[in-house]
Amino acid sequence: MSFIIRRLAFYLVAAWVAITLNFFIPRAMPGNPVESVIAKYPNLTPSAEKSLALMLGGLLAKGSLWSQYVTYLGHVFTFNFGPDIAQFPTPVTTMIGQALPWTLVLVGVATIISFFVGTTLGILAGWRHGGWLDRSLPALMFLQAVPYFFLALVLVEVLGIELHWLPVGQGYNGATTSPGWHWAFIGSAVQHAILPALTIVLTSIAGWMLQMRNVMITTIGEDYVVAAQAKGLSSRRVIYTYAARNALLPQLQAFGLALGFVVSGALVMEIVFAYPGIGLLLLNAVSSDDFPLMQAIFLVITFAILIANLIIDFVIVFFDPRVRAREVAR
Amino acid sequence: MTAVAGVWRNLPLKAKVGAVLFGVFVLAAIIGPQVAPYDPSYANPDPSLLMAHPSAQHLLGTTQTGQDVLSQLLVGIRLTIELALLVGVIAGILSVAVGVTSAFLGGVWDEFLSLVSNVFLVIPALPLLILLLGYLSGKGQLPTIIVLSVLGWPWGARVIRAQTLTIRNRDFVAAARESGEKSWRIITLDIIPNEISLIAANFVNTVLYAIGASVALAFVGLTDLNSWSLGTILYWAESQQALSLGAWWWFVPPGLAVALIGTSLVLLNTGIDELGSPRLRASRGAAKIAGHRIWATDPTPVLAQLTAGRNRVGAFVHSFSRESLLDETPAGGELR
Amino acid sequence: MSPILDISDLSVVYRTTGGDVRAVEKVNLTLSPGEVVGLCGESGSGKSTLAYGATRLLRPPALVTSGNVRYSGRRLTHGGHPVDLLAMSHRELHEMRWREVAIVFQSAMNALNPVLRVQDQLLDAVTAHLRLPRHEAREKAASLLDLVGISRNRLRSYPHELSGGMRQRVMIAMALAADPEVVIMDEPTTALDVVVQRDILAQIVELKERLDFAILFITHDLSLLLELADRIAVMYAGRLLETGTAHDIMREPAHPYTRGLLNSFPSLRGARRELAGIPGSPPDLRDPGPGCPFIPRCKHAIDACSDVDMSLAPWGAPVIGDPASVTHLTACPIVTPQVSQEGVLS
């Protein structure tokens, strides 16, 4: 249990760093972001200007740096990110709240599928090191080197436009249905999610496979696998319960670390598909100099990844008895 | 020189292919701009040459505004590779410095540096990059390089620190310390030479990451749009709807170039991995004995049986079956 | 009594890009039912390769290049003639493993699956070979722990929660799960401290008496074998140099290498003498050179040693009328009982 607590403490430190970065970056930038925003959007109310100043610093900010920081921290903890600039006066949190579920579901499901399939293939490839599955890796690695969005473009072109198999763009068919918990919407949403999900899976599967295969090869060389074979256990038992169970641990750790990359790629890909997720929101925010939104999204993404990492830590503790023991013994 | 030749011989085929492929792109980067037929920014006003298919004059066709795609590609390769290599070197030096120092010094310094590395590892890089560049837009390549380097070193630092810790505890280092060798001498003469393959693999990884990140950033329009990197070409292609207008020659070549550069680096890295990890290497060449493929988990082969021959076609076909993938039953019948 | 395990002319190589490493070269070794045979040699001598090669557990690039390993256990042969392990199919090997020949590995920490409980690992061994209903299988697994004197509430422990000695005993218990005829023990006590070693060895002896299995005991520690083994085989650079009863070896070691080994540890009784190691190191097994591999380190080597064919020949006088009764064999041609008695050899 204390393992989890230590990890939690670590994530809190990381979150604090992210928040602090968020606070200082606009203040460290050359030029005056606040002025440029005000110049671009003359219709802002004074309270909006105040919250903007709090977020970005600059000449309009009241109070010392420290007091601004403290107030800022308070705002973050209460999820008060202020009103949006480009779509004034919609609060930032509302906009994020609309976009986040799309990204979470798409990226979450696709990543998990990709991890499972890739890891399983990696187990088989490592077991039959040198076999046909193993030798198909370079081809898959090529797929992985292709930028997410490029593959997205190709898939859109081939499957969407040329073959008309799948819909292109948007999260659902706005003309025929509207959001809500009914089949027409869910069906449409799923249809629209297939291409983006396919992109994510295709580009990341090789990575998981290669990683697992390498760990499997090392694990198979361990004495306990030889011992398991000497015991005359079935191949299935040896591969899964003796080799793969142990190889899974470094794989899970790698998963935690790779989450950041996965999410990053998915964000960019959302533009190509005009998928109404948080990536599209972020990039629109950037092009319209919508700083409060940009900062809020960065924080939300970071927090989401930290939480996901914590969940993975739970899974690791579940699978590795040594971790549990190491901490108990302290 | 013989050391290099020795290394080359030991690389698996995959890695050699990767190295050669990457070499081709480096060559293109060096001579590309000289060889480019046109100025990539030159917009030919001739209406028949707008979004034109590849032709003798424009081997890769033209863009919406009449610019030559091939020239853009050649200049783009140089810019992208330059940037990636630069980031690789800077981040590489940083990660080696931090990794080795924190492992060597230990104690509070180690804890602190490790904490910093881990924090930057877990904070997602691309959103942070987007945030930073969002404020800095239009300020040239330098911010991109700096930002990528600053975010790129933690990964390598972690790996190198782990390896340095292992080496540091080995006897020959302890002996050197006992005999009073200066720390920096120990580091440069004992520790670093033992980590060369790790440092090389780390460098390749960083370059890979830099390419991916810079292309992605350029694609969303966050880097300097006045300079022609591969990502910028893609940006313009996307914003001008090259895809739906059918102008495949505009966006396929740069995308393909990125993919090929990336693949070559990944292949190269597999080779370096195998060089550095004896187990991977040992099991690589070991799979074929007396002309038969032997899996690592098969019973020890007996020469008399192998030379008795097996039905080759049967074995090949059988290797696709689920049994063969999971079980030990050999193809073509019993090993009698 | 006919041997239960008859290894004849076994050669194992490791096929590397730099050539074949001759890890085991034409070794003959027999194991009779209920007998303890000690296999002694320094690291790299090929003793483990011999054992794992014979049971076909070596990984690529290992290759068995010659020989037979004939096993005569009743369950497999049903009273018929012995089966050759080297000629078995995968399926047949599967049946043989653990039920006929079980192995106790060197380092129990490495040989036990770190993420499985002791109970599950024991159950694996039990259910793989015995058709028992679930609760009987569990009872059998628990009774295995009783065999080695470990409390049953250790069943739910993980390997890292046990002490070194306990882990080794779990390994031994596991090896006995399917009631094997032969147990190969690969340096089972090397990683343990002396006191625990004693306990484990006593345990092994007791179990052997009770359950009647043969043991092939591999170690570098000759002193251990002198007490434990019925017969001892000395290996060096992939070849057998000498075999004989423990008594023979201890009283009149024939081969200079064996003498060197005996001289390298002190004995409790007898005069104090200077301990001597054996200077030098084993040869490169890719090309060990002609004749006896011990030549570079042997004080008594003569030119004729390079022509020796390394087959084991009897040493000492046979019982009159029964030439086959000499059990003490050696590959060294220049050593004769007379030479030894004259004290020429130190």
Structure tokens that stand for C146 in this block: 């009783």
Which pLDDT value is given to residue C230? 92
User: Which pLDDT tens digit goes with each residue over C114-127?
Assistant: 999 999 999 999 99
Contact C128 A224 (CB under 8 A): no
Q: Please, which residues have CB within 8 angstroms of residue C267's CB and are 6 or more apart in sequence?
A: none
For an interface test with A, give the residue of C59, C105, C115 to mutate (most A CBs within 10 A). C115
Measured CA to CA, the distance from residue C300 to residue C285 in angstroms comes to 22
Model confidence band, residue B102 (pLDDT cutoffs 50, 70, 90): confident
- C125–chain A Cβ distance below 8 A for any pair: yes
User: Which pLDDT tens digit goes with each residue over A61-118?
Assistant: 667 777 778 878 887 888 777 777 666 667 788 888 888 888 888 888 888 899 999 9
Question: Which range has the worst mean pLDDT, A118-122, A182-186, C17-21?
Answer: A182-186
- C91–chain B Cβ distance below 8 A for any pair: yes
Model confidence band, residue B153 (pLDDT cutoffs 50, 70, 90): confident
Which pLDDT value is given to residue A116? 92
Given the structure tokens 């302890």, which residue do they identify? B174
- Residue C114 pairs in a beta bridge with none
* Closest CA in chain C for residue A329: C161
User: Which pLDDT tens digit goes with each residue over A188-219?
Assistant: 778 778 888 888 888 888 888 888 888 888 88
* Closest CA in chain B for residue C91: B329
Contact B300 C62 (CB under 8 A): yes
Query: Which one has a higher pLDDT value, C217 or A330?
Result: C217
Given the structure tokens 């089949």, which residue do they identify? A183
Nearest to C158 among A226, A234, A321 (CB): A321
Q: What is the mean pLDDT of residues C248-277?
A: 76
Same domain for B305 and B169: no
- C91–chain A Cβ distance below 8 A for any pair: no
Question: Which range has the worst mean pLDDT, B179-188, B321-330, C118-127?
Answer: B321-330
Nearest to B301 among C52, C63, C88 (CB): C63
- B287–chain A Cβ distance below 8 A for any pair: yes
Domain with B30 in it: what CATH number?
1.10.3720.10
Which pLDDT value is given to residue A166? 66
Contact A232 C114 (CB under 8 A): no
* Closest CA in chain A for residue C94: A232
Query: Which one has a higher pLDDT value, B334 or B17?
Result: B17
Which pLDDT value is given to residue B72? 84
b/e map A190-218, b = 16+ CB within 10 Å: eebbebbbbbbbbbbbbbbbbbbbbbbbb
Which residues of chain A are within 8 Å of residue C94 when distances are taken between CB atoms?
232
Whether the predicted pLDDT of A328 surpasses 50: no
Contact B119 A17 (CB under 8 A): yes
Output the CA torsion sign for A5, A6, A7, A9.
positive
Structure tokens that stand for A205 in this block: 């599967």
Model confidence band, residue C344 (pLDDT cutoffs 50, 70, 90): very low
Which pLDDT value is given to residue C123? 92
Measured CA to CA, the distance from residue B85 to residue B95 in angstroms comes to 15
Which pLDDT value is given to residue B249? 79
User: Distances from the Cα of C299 to the Cαs of A228, B5, C44, C260, C339, in angstroms?
Assistant: 45, 43, 21, 10, 14
Same domain for B301 and B265: no
For an interface test with B, give the residue of C11, C64, C92 to mutate (most B CBs within 10 A). C64
Which pLDDT value is given to residue B87? 92
Same domain for B84 and B15: yes
For an interface test with B, give the residue of C11, C89, C98, C101 to mutate (most B CBs within 10 A). C89
User: Which pLDDT tens digit goes with each residue over C178-193?
Assistant: 889 999 999 988 888 8
- Rounding to the nearest 10 degrees, give the CA dihedral for residues B77, B82, B87, B90: 160
Which pLDDT value is given to residue B332? 33
Same domain for B159 and B261: yes
Model confidence band, residue C270 (pLDDT cutoffs 50, 70, 90): low
Model confidence band, residue A170 (pLDDT cutoffs 50, 70, 90): low
User: Distances from the Cα of A14 to the Cαs of A66, A303, A307, C172, C244, in angstroms?
Assistant: 20, 9, 11, 48, 69
Same domain for B301 and B235: no
Nearest to A217 among B136, B262, B280 (CB): B280
Q: Which domain holds residue B311?
A: 287-326
Question: Which range has the worst mean pLDDT, A176-185, A266-275, C304-313?
Answer: A176-185
Model confidence band, residue B18 (pLDDT cutoffs 50, 70, 90): confident
Which residues of chain B are within 8 Å of residue C54 when distances are taken between CB atoms?
none
Same domain for B320 and B181: no
- B273–chain A Cβ distance below 8 A for any pair: yes
In this structure, the number of other CB atoms found within 10 A of the CB of residue A46 comes to: 7
Chain A neighbors (3+ CB pairs < 8 Å): B, C
For an interface test with A, give the residue of B120, B130, B294 to mutate (most A CBs within 10 A). B130
- Helix, coil or strand: residue B47: helix
User: Distances from the Cα of B301 to the Cαs of A125, B296, C60, in angstroms?
Assistant: 21, 11, 8
Strand order in the sheet with C62-71: C19-31, C5-16, C62-71, C83-84
Which residues of chain A are within 8 Å of residue C113 when distances are taken between CB atoms?
224, 228, 241-242, 245-246
Helix or strand holding residue B99 (H, E): helix B69-105
Contact C110, C135 (CB under 8 A): no
For an interface test with B, give the residue of A231, A286, A288, A297 to mutate (most B CBs within 10 A). A286
Whether the predicted pLDDT of B309 surpasses 60: no
Q: What percent of chain C has pLDDT over 70?
A: 89
Helical axes A2-28 vs A321-329, angle rounded to 10°: 90
Question: Which range has the worst mean pLDDT, A154-158, B86-90, B214-218, C88-92?
Answer: A154-158
Helical axes A183-220 vs A148-155, angle rounded to 10°: 130
- Helix, coil or strand: residue C278: coil
Model confidence band, residue B329 (pLDDT cutoffs 50, 70, 90): very low
Interface of C with B in 51-80 (CB under 8 A): 52-53, 56-66
CA nearest neighbour of C285 among C39, C38, C43? C43
Measured CA to CA, the distance from residue C191 to residue C153 in angstroms comes to 25
Same domain for B241 and B209: yes
Which pLDDT value is given to residue B333? 33
Q: What is the mean pLDDT of residues A226-249?
A: 89
Q: Please, which residues have CB within 8 angstroms of residue B169's CB and are 6 or more apart in sequence?
A: none
- In the DSSP assignment, the letter for residue C297 is G
Measured CA to CA, the distance from residue A119 to residue B269 in angstroms comes to 20
Measured CA to CA, the distance from residue C293 to residue A329 in angstroms comes to 51
Which pLDDT value is given to residue C172? 92
The DSSP annotation for B161-200 comes to HHHHHHHHTSHHHHHHHHTT--HHHIIIIIIHHHTHHHHH
Same domain for B261 and B278: yes
Measured CA to CA, the distance from residue A201 to residue A114 in angstroms comes to 5
Judge whether B195 lies within some domain. yes
Measured CA to CA, the distance from residue A98 to residue A78 in angstroms comes to 18
User: Which pLDDT tens digit goes with each residue over B276-294?
Assistant: 666 555 555 446 676 777 7
Task: Output the 3-class SS for chain A.
Answer: CHHHHHHHHHHHHHHHHHHHHHHHHHHHCCCCHHHHHHHHCCCCCHHHHHHHHHHHCCCCCCCCHHHHHHHHHHHHHCCCCCECCCCCCCEHHHHHHHHHHHHHHHHHHHHHHHHHHHHHHHHHHHHCCCCHHHHCHHHHHHHHHCCHHHHHHHHHHHHHHHCCCCCCCCCCCCCCCCCCCCHHHHHHHHHHHHHHHHHHHHHHHHHHHHHHHHHHHHHHCCHHHHHHHHCCCCHHHHHHHHHHHHHHHHHHHHHHHHHHHHHHHHHHHHHHHCCCCHHHHHHHHHHCCCHHHHHHHHHHHHHHHHHHHHHHHHHHHHHCHHHHHHHHHC
- Of the three residues B283, B298, B317, the one that is the final residue of a domain is B283
Structure tokens that stand for C25 in this block: 């070269």
Whether the predicted pLDDT of C339 surpasses 70: no
Judge whether B53 lies within some domain. no
Chain C neighbors (3+ CB pairs < 8 Å): A, B
Measured CA to CA, the distance from residue A292 to residue A95 in angstroms comes to 12
Which pLDDT value is given to residue C19? 79
Same domain for B183 and B294: no
Measured CA to CA, the distance from residue A329 to residue C155 in angstroms comes to 20
- Pairing of β C36-40 and β C239-245: unpaired
Structure tokens that stand for A100 in this block: 């986040």
**CA terminus-to-terminus distance, chain C:** 37
Task: Provide φ and ψ at A127, rounded to 5°.
Answer: -65, -40
Helix or strand holding residue B22 (H, E): helix B13-35
- B115–chain A Cβ distance below 8 A for any pair: yes
Q: What is the mean pLDDT of residues B123-133?
A: 82
Which pLDDT value is given to residue B336? 28
Question: Which range has the worst mean pLDDT, A321-325, B232-236, C250-254?
Answer: A321-325
CA nearest neighbour of A266 among A132, A138, A31, A105? A105
* Closest CA in chain B for residue C86: B302
Which residues of chain B are within 8 Å of residue A18 when distances are taken between CB atoms?
123
Which residues of chain C are within 8 Å of residue B287 when distances are taken between CB atoms?
60
Task: Provide φ and ψ at A69, rounded to 5°.
Answer: -60, -45
In this structure, the number of other CB atoms found within 10 A of the CB of residue C127 comes to: 18
Measured CA to CA, the distance from residue C99 to residue C176 in angstroms comes to 9
Judge whether B333 lies within some domain. no
Which residues of chain B are within 8 Å of residue C60 when distances are taken between CB atoms?
283, 286-287, 289, 294-296, 298, 301
Chain B neighbors (3+ CB pairs < 8 Å): A, C
Which residues of chain B are within 8 Å of residue C90 when distances are taken between CB atoms?
298-299, 328-330, 334-335
User: Which pLDDT tens digit goes with each residue over C90-100?
Assistant: 888 888 888 88
Whether the predicted pLDDT of A229 surpasses 70: yes
**Number of continuous H segments (helices) and E segments (strands) in chain C:** 12, 12
Q: What is the mean pLDDT of chain A?
A: 80
Contact B199, B96 (CB under 8 A): yes
b/e map B245-265, b = 16+ CB within 10 Å: eebbbbbbbbbebbbbbbbbb
Which pLDDT value is given to residue C232? 92
Which pLDDT value is given to residue A329? 42
Judge whether B74 lies within some domain. yes
Model confidence band, residue B120 (pLDDT cutoffs 50, 70, 90): confident
Judge whether B336 lies within some domain. no
Contact C99 A241 (CB under 8 A): no
Judge whether B210 lies within some domain. yes
Contact C48, C190 (CB under 8 A): no
Judge whether B44 lies within some domain. no
Which pLDDT value is given to residue A330? 35
Q: Where are the beta strands (DSSP E) in C72-162?
A: 83-84, 101-104
Same domain for B136 and B112: yes
Whether the predicted pLDDT of B312 surpasses 60: no
Total number of domains constituting chain B: 2
Same domain for B296 and B196: no
Contact C57 B300 (CB under 8 A): yes
Judge whether B335 lies within some domain. no
The torsion region of residue C302 among left (phi > 0), alpha (psi -120 to 50) and beta comes to beta
**Of A11-20, B161-170, C245-254, C310-319, highest mean pLDDT:** A11-20
Instruction: Provide the shortest C-alpha distance from residue B19 to chain C (in Å).
Output: 23
Contact C124 A231 (CB under 8 A): yes
Nearest to A230 among C57, C113, C160 (CB): C57
Measured CA to CA, the distance from residue A284 to residue B196 in angstroms comes to 44
Which residues of chain B are within 8 Å of residue A145 when distances are taken between CB atoms?
208, 258-263, 265-266
Whether the predicted pLDDT of A135 surpasses 90: no
- Pairing of β B292-293 and β C329-330: unpaired
Question: Which range has the worst mean pLDDT, A226-235, B38-47, B118-127, B316-325?
Answer: B316-325
Q: What is the mean pLDDT of chain B?
A: 77
Whether the predicted pLDDT of A124 surpasses 80: yes
Contact C217, C225 (CB under 8 A): yes
CA angle in degrees (0–180, nearest 5) for A233-A236-A237: 50
Same domain for B271 and B221: yes
